[in-house]
Structure 1
Amino acid sequence: MARRIAVVFDSAGTLLHMYRVAKEASTGNILENIESTAIVSKKKGCGLVALNTEKEIILHSRRTMSLFDFITEYRVSIGISCSKGKFTQDIACEVIRGTSIPMGDVHDVLEAVTSRCPDSIYLAAGLIVDSEAQSIPYVLSTGGQVFGKTLQTIQSLYAMEVDVYIASGDRMAALLQLAEFINIPRERVFAFADPLMKEKVVLELKSQYEKVVMVGDGINDLLAFRAADVGIMTTQQGDKRPEELRKAASVVLDDIIKVVDVVKGL
């Protein structure tokens, strides 16, 4: 017999309040709080690429070392968090190989996030790769702190015998820190979940549950919203959300704790 309800959460901007920093390759400027998924969604052949490694390993590298040499020498894998059009790890690697992005740029964004959010439960580094232009327009870092009512929300859902999952474009090591803090089992965490994978997670859960709810805040949650029985868009991150995402959502909430009331209504 199918269990009654499952709720799938995105992490960044949904469970976590994020601080985002980008270094623009064309100018060298440090930009705050750019919405990387929105940038990727605007151009075919673009992808948001995550470096699957720890901050300490990145900062141990030489600033003058190229990004490709770092990935090769330190055997760092990459993950595709979201993309538009044809975009694979092999395509990303070829573009990275052909560019001269120094690790100093990655150091800069990591250090900027660390100085602004020293108590982050989550810290990641990555880049936007443009395969058509054969360039890396932005190097990125993000740090996150759990929203004040995130833990209360998860606990309330558990008290209602609701099963909770995470499907996020972030790397597994970072997500497991979050999952442990809010008591979500490892087997219910899906890392490097691009829009198609998020949709797949929701569809597979629909075969196991009477109702599946997707909670997110970015354009990479659009397909999962459409696949879910209920799509909940959260706005507590404070960034402007794409209108297309808002239209796809069943409900728009300004506080994650209100997810509990929506689920009660089911």
Structure 2
Amino acid sequence: MKKAVVFDNSGTLIERYRVIKDVISGNLFTDINSLDLIDQTDSLALVVLQYNTNKLMDLDSNTLLSDVIKEYDIDFDVSFTNFETTKEDVKEILYNENSAIISDITDGFPILREKVPHMQLCNGSAVILDMDVGIIAYTITSAGKLFDGVIDTVSELKSQGCEIVLASGDRKGAINRLADMIGVKKENAHGSISTRGKCEIVKSLQDDGYKVMMVGDGLNDVLAFKQADVSVLTIEQQEEVSPKLMDKTDYIVESIKEVKEIDF
């Protein structure tokens, strides 16, 4: 039987560093899991901006994010939420929000540079919308570096005949670059994928005759875990794992290197 391994990115292949800013209070956090934050509510939505965040440094830091999104026609995708919403509903808020400014994203840059002096991959920026109130409640800036052994693990799985697929909620440009770095075909690199979208990728592979292993670390992997023939939870990021995920996985690994040893 054909086999495929679907990898999440951030926290799974990439050691993730993120800065979350509370737009209202101005506080910066580096120890909050954005997915856990959203999972506690029925009004928050994680929205990934398809834009090279570094370009914001060339703009006036007091410019409204809504004005930047409109002027540069920045595309976006809803990556994680606990309720049904539409792109039009999200667009309405993003285009008219009048509190979040560029510095709410760029304020996190110095912290990221300190954490990751030689950043291999900038995942970019995202916002967390409060859909009930109609505001950008939080901004997220993230960056990272490959976990040790990622390239060797992918190479070994490919030598075993496995098809390698990336399915991540992170920015599409970052996922395409990651695919180049670790030797994954561009057509197998899927960025800005929602929780349901990851599940659909697994199902599509199964429909094509593949036995599928899903490897991930967060709540946005839970539906793909349930759909996959084999699910693997990585805890290499060393963050607290939601109980919702712990009981939905077949294997728990402390290093990505252990994935190539799993027989499926």
- TM above 0.5, yes or no, is yes
Give the number of aligned pairs.
262
What is the CA distance between 1:146 and its match in structure 2?
A: 0.2
> 2:109 is aligned with what amino acid?
L
Residue identity in the other structure for 2:31? N
- Report how far residue 41 of structure 1 moved: 1.9
* Aligned structure 1 segments of 4 or more residues deviating by more than 6 angstroms: none
Query: Deviations for 1:145-167, whole angstroms, at most 9, x for unmatched residues?
Result: 00011111101101111110000
In structure 1, distance between residues paired with 2:190 and 2:9: 11
How far did residue 252 of structure 1 move? Answer: 0.9
Q: Sequence identity, in percent?
A: 27
Superposition deviation, residue 84 in structure 1: 1.6
**1:158 corresponds to:** 158
**Unmatched segments (≥5 aa) in structure 1:** none
What whole-Å deviation, never above 9, does each CA across 1:188-235 have from its counterpart, x for those lacking one?
011111111000000000012341010000000000000000111000
- Determine if the alignment matches structure 1 residue 25 to structure 2 residue 31: no
Deviations 1:17-73 (A, max 9, x none): 001111112321111032111212222232111111113322122111101001011
RMSD: 1.3
Rounded Cα–Cα distance in structure 2 between residues aligned with 1:149 and 1:128: 32
The letter for the 2-side match of 1:46 is L
Alpha-carbon distance change, 211 to 99 in structure 1, aligned in 2, over 3 angstroms: same
**Quick one: which amino acid aligns to residue 31 of structure 1?**
F
Query: Structure 2: which amino acid aligns with 1:106?
Result: I
**Which residue does the alignment assign to 1:98?**
97
CA contact (8 A) 1:67 1:101 kept: yes
Query: Residue 243 in 1 paired to residue 243 in 2?
Result: yes
- Pairing 1:54-133 to 2, within 5 Å after superposition: 54-96=52-94, 97-123=96-122, 124-133=124-133
- Distance, in Å, in 2 between the alignment partners of 1:205 and 1:80 is 23
1:47 corresponds to which residue? 45
Match of 1:204 in 2: 204
Report the Cα offset of residue 95 of structure 1. Answer: 2.2
1:76 Cα deviation from its structure 2 partner: 1.3
Deviates more, 1:38-47 or 1:156-165: 38-47
Gaps of 5+ in 2: none
Select between 44-53 and 251-260 the one with higher mean Cα deviation.
44-53
The DSSP-based 3-state class of the residue aligned with 1:257 is: helix
1:130 CA drift (Å): 1.1
Length-normalised TM-score, structure 1: 0.94
Preserved CA contact (<8 Å) 1:110 1:125: no
Indicate if the aligned counterparts of 1:66 and 1:102 stay in contact, CA closer than 8 A. Answer: yes
